Amino acid sequence: MIVTTRKGVVIAEGLAENIGIGDRLDVIEFEQFVATNLHELGRFEAEQRRIKVGELIARYNEIVDEFETDPSLQIEISSGKAS
């Protein structure tokens, strides 16, 4: 299995076909891979999916806080509610 960018999917599939392993290899776009896993982790329930997305973003922000010098790389989520 290869998880890659949209452009990488086309390239990887072409290379796999060229060497004769196209039928033995799954190539998945990164965004689709993450979305599918979030649905599964959330047990295919909308509220659980929102919780898992929140957990993913919280973990991402922890990593940015620990290893990056630019805090603007963190993700901020607004409540979406009008005040």
For the chain, domain boundaries: 1-41, 45-83
Q: Are 57 and 77 in contact (CB under 8 A)?
A: yes
Q: Where residue 83 falls among pLDDT bands split at 50, 70, 90?
A: very low
pLDDT above 60: residue 13: yes
Mean pLDDT of 11-17: 96
Instruction: Record the pTM.
Output: 0.68
Q: What is the mean pLDDT of the chain?
A: 92
48: Cβ–Cβ under 8 A, 6 or more apart, which residues? 41, 42
Query: Which ranges of the chain would DSSP assign to H, the alpha helix?
Result: 6-18, 30-41, 46-67
CA dihedral 44, 49, 51, 56 (to 10 degrees): 120
Answer for the pair 42, 49: CB distance below 8 angstroms, yes or no. yes
Q: Is the pLDDT of residue 81 over 70?
A: no
